[in-house]
Amino acid sequence: MKRVFIGVTILALLSMAGWAEESSSTDDQMPSEDADTLIPRELLFGNPDKITVRTSFDGPRISYLAPKDGVLNVWVGPIDDPGAAKPVTNDTYRGIRSYSWTYTNEHILYIQDKDGDENWRIYSVNLTSGEIKDLTPFEDVQARIQKVSRNFPEDIIVGLNDRDPEYHDLYRLNIETGNMTLIQENREFSSFDIDEDYSVRFATNMTPDGGADIFKPTEDGGWEIFSKIPMEDMITTGSVGFNKTGEILYMVDSRGRNTAALFAMNTTTGVETLIAEDPKADFGGWMRHPTEMNVQAVAFTYERKHWQVLDDSVADDLAYLQTVDDGDVEVLSRSLDDKTWIVAYIVDDGPFRYYRYDSEKKEAEFLFTNRKDLEDKPFAKMMIPVIIRSRDGLNLVSYYTLPLGSDQDVDGRPEEPLPMVLYVHGGPWSRDVWDYNPIHQWIANRGYAVLSVNFRGSTGFGKDFVNAGNLEWGAKMHDDLIDAVDWAVVEGIADPDRVAIMGGSYGGYATLVGLTFTPEVFACGVDMVGPSNLTSLIETIPPYWQPEIEVFATRMGDHRTEEGRKLLRERSPINHVEKIQRPLLICQGANDPRVNQNESDQIVGAMQERSIPVTYVLYPDEGHGSARPENRMSFYAVAEAFLSHHLGGRFEPIGDDFENSSITVPVGAEEVSGLKEALSTDLPDRAL
């Protein structure tokens, strides 16, 4: 599956692994009895009923991920009778999180790693015979699906770093036999652009200044520079695919402008033609015809997602779909004849709602939601996005959620200031959006306000906003978070004495910065897989990220220079541990290849040396985030008790939420009420 942007691997650096999916609610508050309803963690963080819903390319079948014996697997069935679907995979432990149809319509592809190590293997399922084949059975090798084309239904292009851990060579792979043929040895490039005929058309490599050169193959087998991307455009510029003939390469491009617009680039001349733009937001997705591959609509998200319709042939379809159900419309899948669409409706206070749409009849049929048990639960509204001004004048698009019943006059402010959790997104080159957010709902249901801020460096708001975060880790990026807390206090949303900071990955780093750099602002912190030492973070990145190392050097600090190492030391929480005054909870996956276990071990050890209390939760079978729902629920049970003790909100007892989890607590179980007892009762060898 082709990388959408040149730096997408790095963009995902400090983002938590988790679920992603592709009834206008009124402003009336729920009845007071609903405000008292404690929504079980199992409903919020357990497996969905059905998710990642797709139609087969020929149209008669539907697929989705759903639990089989409690573990997510791929199910396939007739699209006219989704209830008759049966599992076609047999994962028994970690669960499948990503899959796709092939153009044979008789095979499913999926990827799986081992305990979160991100050494993905590619598997093929023959739907006729039921055979499951490991197509890339290599140890300590990461496989990537690079291209799938309907011109070659039985073959795909994959990348393997089997020859050199830093570079992925390209192979043509037969999904039925497993036979592979090398088509491009790679000794220097970070990514390739491959057309529908499986020709390698362009290659990209980073430059020492943090930009990139795009190369085109020459007739003698070499490469020549075709185009250049300056450093300031690196994160907001990249290719997204070819047209049907391969004569046009679609580019998301911010060169010579601020927001990233969609362009059609002539592959011979390099001349670009503007397709769609927005003055406030970057390109955020598109719709293309499934066979003609022309662009039909483009999405942009500033506060909420909106679509620009470019092709009149889908204007009536999208207009009709807007009338079918409440929420934001997402077209997830389309058959090649374009008669069958799978459509989802996204709201902020309930589960996704899936429909099958017949584009000929202009009729939509409801299929199911992703979580039936959530359909009648008392969820809070995510407030209409607010714009918080940073101290130096930037607009920070932010989202907050209040507990039900706390805003009786429906003015977006609680009757009295509440304990609040500042929940910081990962990346940092990603963003928060308006949608159903289980973290927001969980925190609000426990009696807290919750605020998420698109601080500088977040994507989606133009390159100027992204670049404002360059070399500002632990500095102006953190100032934005503090400015948001101050805003919430002034607005009467947050009680200044009861504000927690929490986040995963980069959000975990932000948590550690919050407790070290601004030790009196937060009452406590919850760090999930966050780096504590920026120097060791960069020095231990996976080898296949080395081709994009200049992203770190130009945007975090250059570990190869004394000046850069000095900056990284200054911005590393590990070097300010003695300033910590407030309680800290840390979660880590032992197999995390992005933020390895040493990042958490370092700060836990430093706190122990100084007799500073800390609770450390470690999972031996997880990587960068929790894939197994048993592990998710066990950690959130701990975090819920931790927040309740320090902020005063309510909590659901741990109960049996440790069952089948691999949770261990090497340090500080006694710091969280009920944790040591739960471990000694259910898992006597895991409280060390």
Which amino acid is present at 381? K
Q: Which residue, 433, 439, 451, is CA-closest to 494?
A: 451
Encoded tokens for 67:
């639990």
> 59-85: per-residue pLDDT in tens?
999 999 999 999 999 999 999 999 999
Which residue among the candidates 432, 592, 621, 657 is catalytic per the annotation? 592
580: which 2 tokens? Answer: 């910590």
Residue 31 confidence (pLDDT): 40
Would you tell me how many other CB atoms lie within 10 Å of the CB of residue 57? 21
Share of the chain above pLDDT 90, in %: 93
Q: What percent of the chain has pLDDT over 70?
A: 94
DSSP 575: G
Under 8 Å CB-to-CB from 599, ≥6 apart: which residues? 529, 530, 531, 532, 533, 536, 537, 588
pLDDT(43) > 60: yes
Name, in order, each residue with C-beta under 8 angstroms of 153's C-beta and a sequence gap of 6 or more: 102, 103, 104
Query: Which residue type is seen at 202?
Result: F
- Identity (one letter) of the amino acid at 562? E
pTM for the model: 0.94
pLDDT at site 377:
93
Residue 112 amino acid letter: Q
Which range (258-262, 568-572, 655-659) has the least confidence? 655-659
- Where are the chain's structural domains? 386-682
Sign of CA dihedral 313, 316, 317, 318: positive
Contacts of 269 (CB under 8 A, 6+ apart): none
Q: Give the strand pairing for 418-424 and 494-504.
A: parallel
Summary mean pLDDT of the chain: 94
Interval 363-386 mean pLDDT = 94
CA-based torsion, 214, 216, 222, 225: positive or negative? negative
Cα gap 308→504, rounded to integer Å: 33
DSSP letters for 445-503: HTT-EEEEE--TT-SSS-HHHHHTTTT-TTTHHHHHHHHHHHHHHHTTSEEEEEEEEEE
Q: Is the pLDDT of residue 33 over 90?
A: no
- Segments in 91-165 forming alpha helices (H): none
Helices (H), 366-468: 438-445, 463-467
| CA 209 to each of CA 543, 547, 551: distance values in angstroms, whole numbers, following the listed order | 20, 13, 9
The burial class, CB within 10 Å (0-12 / 13-18 / 19+), for 684 is exposed
Q: What is the DSSP letter of 515?
A: H
> What's the pLDDT score for residue 24?
33
Task: Compute and round to an integer the Cα radius of gyration of the chain.
Answer: 25
Task: Kindly tell me if the per-residue pLDDT of 624 is higher than 60.
Answer: yes
Contact between 574 and 517 (Cβ < 8 Å): no
Residue 36, pLDDT score = 77
Would you say 380 and 349 are in contact if contact means Cβ atoms under 8 Å apart?
yes
Residue 610 near residue 577, CB atoms below 8 Å: yes
Over residues 371-398, the mean pLDDT reads 95
pLDDT tens readout for residues 88-127: 999 999 999 999 999 999 999 999 999 999 999 999 999 9
Q: Which of 479, 624, 646, 657 is flagged as catalytic? A: 624
Active site residue 306: no
What CATH class does 386-682 carry?
A: alpha beta
Write out the two tokens for 390. 């940073």
Average pLDDT over residues 617-640: 97
Which of the four pLDDT bands, split at 50, 70 and 90, describes residue 35? Answer: low
What is the distance between the alpha carbons of residues 527 and 504, in angstroms, rounded to a whole number? 6
Q: Is 195 a catalytic residue?
A: no
* Spatial CB neighbours of 116, under 8 Å, sequence gap ≥ 6: 17, 589, 591, 592, 593, 621, 622, 623, 624, 625, 627
How would you class 520 by CB atoms within 10 Å of its CB: exposed for 0-12, middle for 13-18, buried for 19 or more?
Answer: exposed
370, 355 Cβ separation under 8 angstroms: no
What 3 state SS string does 249-270 have? EEEEECCCCCCCEEEEEECCCC
Q: Which of 198, 279, 331, 285 is closest to 4 using CA atoms? A: 285
For residue 217, say if its preceding peptide bond is cis, omega within 30 degrees of 0. no
Sign of the CA dihedral with 309 first, then 312, 317, and 320 last: positive
Order of strands across the sheet with 223-229? 191-194, 200-206, 212-217, 223-229
More confident residue, 30 or 651: 651
CA-CA distance, 620 to 662, in Å (whole number)? 7
- Residue 4 — pLDDT band, cuts 50, 70, 90? very low
- Residue 84 tokens, joined: 């008759």
Q: CB within 8 A of 20, min separation 6: which ones?
A: none
Catalytic annotation present for 624: yes
pLDDT at res. 258: 98
Q: Tens of pLDDT along 514-533?
A: 999 999 999 999 999 999 99
The yes-or-no verdict on residue 15 having pLDDT over 90 is no
Q: What is the mean pLDDT of residues 454-479?
A: 98
pLDDT of residue 14: 61
